[in-house]
Amino acid sequence: MLEQVVCLAAVTVLGLLEQAYFALMVIYARRKYSVSPPATTGPPEFERVFRAQANCSEYFPIFVFSLWLAGVFFSQAIAVICGLLYLYGRYRYFHGYAESTQGRLGPLYFSAKVQWVLIALAGLGITCTMIQVYL
């Protein structure tokens, strides 16, 4: 049974590593721009890195939930492809945002689209399963 989810698990671990990487980047930015906790404001360069990580963290559970629902109820292979695209989009979002406020927009639209696809696939798969089970 684990083979039906092992690739979803692998993408999730990749996502965990990405989130850890973003958090380390915030710690480095705190040192570089001398912004000690509990402060969350400072030079715009710091604030962009801080918010980039905060935004990715906010969406991370949403991403993982939709990845697993799409993978279990629709197709593991397609969910995995979307998952990798999403993580790549978030990587570019983080670095784009760190460079400039504008820089976050392209990757944001990209990862938002992938996120919508995952939610749609999850919804479709769940609807089909419900029809099979209850009709």
Ligand X SMILES: N[C@@H](CCC(=O)N[C@@H](CS)C(=O)NCC(=O)O)C(=O)O
Residue 74 has φ and ψ, to the nearest 5°, of -115, -80
Candidate ranges 25-33, 63-71, 75-83, 121-129; the one touching ligand X (CB under 6 A): 25-33
Number of residues that bind ligand X (CB under 6 A): 13
Q: Is 13 in the site for its own copies (CB under 8 A)?
A: yes
Which is nearer to its own copies, 60 or 91 (by Cβ)?
60
Six token digits for residue 67: 């990845």
Percent composition of the chain: helix, strand, coil (DSSP 3-state, to 5) = 85, 0, 15
Which is nearer to ligand X, 8 or 52 (by Cβ)?
52
Q: What angle do CA 93, 97, 98 make, to 5 degrees?
A: 115
List residues binding ligand X (CB under 6 A): 23, 26-27, 30, 37-38, 50-51, 53, 55, 58, 104, 108
